[in-house]
């Protein structure tokens, strides 16, 4: 059974990805930092349905702690699927953005990508099969007011992923980015009215977390073995 780790699994999209990968017969390590109870509940539900999952908790910004936790997980074998989903918002227009707002968003999304992915690569490469899938945002492609920090962090992952794809292509490992637009969640409900979504999104609706998870599930599958170095939007034609 292949093993996967999904960071930020306590969120709506992360949880949907965990459920999808488990449904595909993968053992999933559901990661959280600030909301471990949500991951525990998710894993309990998956196990009740005969799925295979476990939880892990650490701050992706803490390189040493992340490395220690990942090394413990690797004692049970390589982790061949990495889904970098952890990310935060701290929105402000740039003239009013603080250094703390800039740094924390960069730390979680971009540094977290490195802190989680890098320790897992060599064990993955030795198996001659792997998938690195990072969740970005349409903001990194077309920009968004008040999200200079978030767009910069996610756009950094685009460049890193394309470079990583070149480095591991001959080893049976792929690296791709999924860039969602407006996806149904408590946050999007607070940010956008139904009318605003109709006016903004050509498909006139928000995406569903399960639709993002379906794309991730495909990229994690054998069928996606020739897709690498790509940034794939899932945004209702917004981007």
Catalytic center residues = 150
**In terms of C-beta density within 10 A (0-12 exposed, 13-18 middle, 19 or more buried), how is residue 123 classed?**
middle
Query: Are 112 and 84 within 8 A, CB to CB?
Result: yes
Query: Are 82 and 123 within 8 A, CB to CB?
Result: no
Q: Are strands 53-57 and 3-6 parallel, antiparallel or unpaired?
A: unpaired
Of the candidates 136, 105, 102, 134, the one whose C-alpha atom is nearest the C-alpha of residue 118 is: 134
**Please, which residues bridge with residue 83 across strands?**
6, 133
Cα(168)–Cα(122) distance, rounded to whole angstroms?
A: 10
Cα(144)–Cα(180) distance, rounded to whole angstroms?
A: 13
Cα(15)–Cα(11) distance, rounded to whole angstroms?
A: 6
């Amino acid at each position: 059974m292949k093993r996967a780790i999904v960071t930020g699994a306590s969120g709506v999209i992360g949880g949907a990805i965990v459920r999808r990968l488990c449904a595909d017969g993968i053992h999933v390590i559901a990661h959280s930092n600030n909301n471990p109870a949500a991951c525990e509940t998710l894993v309990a539900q998956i196990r009740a349905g005969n799925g295979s999952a476990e939880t892990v908790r650490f701050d992706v910004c803490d390189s040493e702690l992340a490395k220690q936790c990942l090394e413990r997980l690797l004692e049970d074998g390589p982790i061949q699927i990495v889904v970098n989903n952890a990310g935060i918002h701290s929105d402000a227009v740039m003239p009013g953005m603080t250094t703390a707002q800039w740094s924390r968003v960069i730390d979680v999304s971009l540094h977290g990508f490195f802190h989680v992915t890098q320790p897992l690569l060599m064990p993955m490469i030795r198996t001659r099969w792997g998938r690195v899938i990072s969740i970005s945002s349409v903001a990194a492609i077309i920009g968004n007011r008040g999200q200079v920090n978030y767009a910069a962090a996610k756009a950094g992952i685009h460049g890193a992923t394309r470079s990583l794809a070149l480095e591991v292509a001959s080893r049976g490992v792929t690296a791709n980015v999924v860039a969602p637009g407006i996806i149904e969640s408590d946050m999007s409900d607070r940010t956008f009215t139904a009318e605003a979504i109709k006016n903004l999104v050509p498909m006139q609706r928000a995406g569903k977390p399960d639709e993002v998870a379906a794309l991730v599930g495909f990229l994690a599958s054998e069928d996606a073995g020739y897709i690498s170095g790509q940034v794939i939007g899932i945004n209702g034609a917004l981007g």
